[in-house]
Chains A and B, each alone.
Chain A
């Protein structure tokens, strides 16, 4: 009786806990695309503020911009919300003509007033990416006079700084060039915030999709805009499901519960190669992994030592092993695949040469340094490879792994020695990276040009500064491209940076998913072309 009752109780509990046979899932609905993706970097969806990967991707599909790269041709800059533009003779003023017949998701028509409002809003809100526009000399005080409507469909934009109009057009294709629905946004404005509090987690655009839901760490859901200027997209709904664990992403796409897995590791991609239901797409991205030495460091600041470090990196060894498929060798500051890029790779691992350079610099017997990098893969692996190679030329190093939020303050305060980090352009113009890697007009500590990598590394070179400035101003495109090539070569040889790799995104999709377009920059990802 006793044992029987205990056994019965256990059996009952087991029965109660037994899973019922679940409904077998026959794939995702035909007009819906489900992505498994880690979306924990998403902190805002206001185009005046978005600067993160996931956010950039979402707003690229929700807002049409003043200028755009369209998925049909990612290399040609064309008008987005605007149909055409004319540049004044002095190159300072551009008048844009807004396309007729466009509507926002709210049903409101897109007008010149919306364009002017959107650009002014970015300048006045002064969030992180606002520098993309304020570099043209606009500020709270003058922007209303410099960006203004001419009539209902024309808007005039005048630069207050000396820049090439080509650069301005490129900059207006960045997220800050997104056109927001003025009437809708201002309905939700509070205490003069231009609707910022509301737009962080709502949408008011004229793009192919509108935001339906964003639940942080859970889901982003977009609905197709039936009145989109290119016609309603095939996928009526796009869902980004937050699946932080890549292995779980793999299972979901293999099982057909997700149409796409976005964050798979090289191992997982390799493991899926034999699966006939899955197609792996390779998309070269503009993200670079580089190493930077602190020029204020008594040893690392020496030219020969910087040179030596460039010969220590086992570029090929890493690219062929743990980075295979996801990174390729790239050694200039502007990524390949974009206008103005430099494909030359003059450096390869040469320890004898590195050792000789160290000896010439007076450090033949080696020294000790600290390597700082991020905790997440592949940064620790890269740092370890560099550490092992440095050891072979007598340089002892200690690796410190940190989360970004801990590492960046250190880097911005110039407290690093050697750092392995990543950089992506803010917009598709070589000036975006030239300004970061090459331009440091004031090297004093109190100047706090913390957004510039050249300042963070205490590296100032007047002739390179001048070159960067003249390239940004150059009106002739051929000359401008050549200037950037030269600039990249110079920084490659003299700068404190060892650019090592360029990212290639690998996306695993179900084989019925077609026409996903993911361009070089983080916000050139398009859903409207996708079919299933």
Chain B
């Protein structure tokens, strides 16, 4: 047997070992990932639960009202199990969650899970449209600013970005309502849909645009779309400002690299240099930014939801918090946690698609 044959055999064997061990190691990675997600949730529920129990707001009074007699008060305290030690209360709560029971909300009198199913789609609709606006406007603006660094267009875009960043959303929301709703009458006012359309479309996904389109209720679809424009634009100004700013800075980094010079020297068109070379390289970073923006919008924006009377998860969690409605607060927090994890997983998948280096 020649030395070459031995080497070849060793290489093949090694390759075999690698491919045999790849499966368990991938399973191990998935399990590790799953375990860390699980740990995140246990931590999340524990912290929210403890904060809920130690804060001075009294969940019993939230139900019985401040005029309740002591007898009524004590009866409710026992019913809620608040007489038990904190750790026992938490374990009961955790085991209920694992069985899909998030408890009942004090405020809405309905199971928390039902509430979330009702409120979350409103936020999802708003956040998704806002992120789409943000991406489709923010990225071209960021690229444009980077390409024209220091020129007028760069300054204009920077001012727009600064505006989106720094103007308080409640002010912007009110001004937008004043101009486009009260003044020009182009767009409808607060709410998700005109009152007289309420209850016509059967809530299958809870996303009115989707439900009305699927059921062929186009009049309602357009009405809901019109209602979406203003609040989504408010959130989009924030998303747009952030995305444009980050795109600009990532692009500037790339445009100053030597490979860009090489590409230009090779005689590639400026469009190809910018989009095919520089932009491809910032995509991975951008996905992270877009993911984070989307996740933070999915938390719900309390101010936007308040001004536009938008029944979303942000208002739900905030109102619950003020009412010491802890089941609702924890349920909402877990959903927000799931959103973050979900968006992270989605970003990971997208990295693999756009970045060849992350392929096996």
Interface of A toward B, CB cutoff 8 Å: 1-3, 5-7, 9-10, 12-14, 16-17, 19-25, 28-29, 32, 34, 36, 40, 43-44, 51-52, 126-128, 130-131, 200-201, 212-213, 215-219, 221, 239, 241-245, 247-248, 251-252, 254-255, 257, 402-406, 408-412, 426, 436, 448-451
| Interface residue SS majority, chain B | helix
Nearest Cβ on chain B to A262's Cβ, whole angstroms:
13
How far apart sit A219 and B196, CA to CA, in the bound complex (Å)? 12
Q: Which of A16, A247, A449 contacts B136 (CB 8 A)?
A: A16
Q: Which of A52, A239, A254, A402 contacts B65 (CB 8 A)?
A: A52
| Cβ-based interface call for B90 (8 A) | no
Q: What total of chain B residues lie within 8 Å of the partner, measured CB to CB?
A: 79
Q: A13-B137, A22-B188 are in contact. Are A216 and B115 (CB under 8 A)?
A: yes
How far apart sit A130 and B68, CA to CA, in the bound complex (Å)? 9
- Shortest Cβ distance from A197 into B: residue: B109
Interface of B toward A, CB cutoff 8 Å: 55-58, 61-73, 75, 105-110, 115, 118-119, 133, 136-137, 140-141, 143-144, 147-148, 174, 177-178, 180-182, 185-191, 194-196, 198-199, 222-223, 225-226, 229-230, 233, 236, 269-271, 273-275, 306-309, 311, 315-316, 319, 322-324
Residues of A within 8 A of B322 (CB): 403, 405
Residues of A within 8 A of B319 (CB): 40, 217
Residues of B within 8 A of A242 (CB): 309, 311
| Contact B136 A13, beta carbon cutoff 8 Å | yes
* A-B contacts, 11 listed (Cβ < 8 Å): A10-B140, A17-B236, A19-B187, A20-B226, A40-B107, A43-B109, A217-B319, A241-B191, A244-B306, A405-B57, A405-B324
Q: Which of A126, A244, A449 contacts B309 (CB 8 A)?
A: A244
Q: Which of B56, B67, B308 contacts A409 (CB 8 A)?
A: B56
How far apart sit A34 and B115, CA to CA, in the bound complex (Å)? 24
Residues of B within 8 A of A13 (CB): 133, 136-137, 140
| Contact B58 A409, beta carbon cutoff 8 Å | yes
Q: A216-B107, A243-B190 are in contact. Are A450 and B68 (CB under 8 A)?
A: yes
| Contact A251 B178, beta carbon cutoff 8 Å | yes
Nearest Cβ on chain A to B229's Cβ, whole angstroms:
5
| Contact A251 B177, beta carbon cutoff 8 Å | yes
Q: Which of A6, A128, A255 contacts B72 (CB 8 A)?
A: A128
| Contact B196 A32, beta carbon cutoff 8 Å | yes
- Shortest Cβ distance from B69 into A: residue: A451
| Contact B269 A213, beta carbon cutoff 8 Å | no
Nearest 3 interchain pairs by C-beta: A216-B108, A408-B66, A448-B70
- Shortest Cβ distance from A17 into B: residue: B133
Residues of B within 8 A of A406 (CB): 55-58
Nearest Cβ on chain A to B251's Cβ, whole angstroms:
11
How far apart sit A502 and B137, CA to CA, in the bound complex (Å)? 53
| Contact A17 B198, beta carbon cutoff 8 Å | no
Nearest Cβ on chain A to B349's Cβ, whole angstroms:
25
Nearest Cβ on chain A to B78's Cβ, whole angstroms:
13
How far apart sit A247 and B71, CA to CA, in the bound complex (Å)? 41
| Contact B306 A408, beta carbon cutoff 8 Å | no
Residues of A within 8 A of B309 (CB): 241-245, 248
How far apart sit A51 and B66, CA to CA, in the bound complex (Å)? 10
> Which residue, B140, B196, B271, has most C-beta atoms of chain A within 10 A?
B140
Residues of B within 8 A of A7 (CB): 144
Q: Which of B148, B190, B275, B323 contacts A405 (CB 8 A)?
A: B323
